């Protein structure tokens, strides 16, 4: 994967997640003590944020920083029905993991 592709994925994810939280670029920037221009430049793939900025953004959005770099379904070059299958497998894997972790926690008590 090329650097530009990673930067574009970051930009798309940041914009998508920010909008899903119903935040403007200005509001997000204000939450992390940055300029609106900084957020705008990241979302337009004009600039790479520092590690500190990525950390502040992920904290403000209440997500793990890795979510800013995760592929979205549009980036998969597979038919829609395969995308749905992939989502189901991922969902079941997370479900199994959570159930396993909860069982361990309960058994430890």
Tens of pLDDT along 41-89?
A: 999 999 999 999 999 999 999 999 988 998 875 555 667 777 678 778 8
**Residue 76: per-residue pLDDT:** 54
Give residues with Cβ within 8 angstroms of 41, minimum separation 6. Answer: 47
The number of domains in the chain is: 2
Same domain, 11 and 63: yes
Same domain, 17 and 54: yes
Which structural domain, as residue segments, surrounds residue 45? 3-68
Q: Which of 58, 38, 63 is closest to 49 using CA atoms?
A: 38
Q: How confident is the model over 10-23, as a mean pLDDT?
A: 95
How far apart are alpha carbons 100 and 3 in whole angstroms? 36
**Predicted TM-score (pTM) of this structure:** 0.67
CB 18 within 8 A of CB 80: no
In the chain, beta strands by DSSP E: none
**Residue 71: per-residue pLDDT:** 81
**Residue 95: per-residue pLDDT:** 83
Same domain, 90 and 50: no
What share of the chain has pLDDT > 90, as a percent? 55
Same domain, 84 and 103: yes
């Amino acid at each position: 994967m090329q650097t530009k592709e990673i930067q574009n994925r970051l930009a798309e994810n940041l914009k998508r997640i920010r909008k899903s939280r119903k935040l403007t670029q200005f509001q997000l920037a204000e939450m992390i003590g940055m300029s609106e221009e900084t957020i705008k430049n990241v979302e337009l793939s004009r600039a790479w944020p520092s590690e500190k900025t990525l950390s502040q953004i992920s904290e403000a959005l209440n997500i793990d920083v890795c979510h800013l770099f995760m592929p979205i379904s549009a980036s998969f070059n597979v038919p829609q029905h395969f995308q749905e299958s992939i989502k189901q497998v991922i969902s079941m894997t997370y479900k199994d993991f959570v159930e396993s972790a909860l069982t361990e926690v309960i058994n430890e008590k």
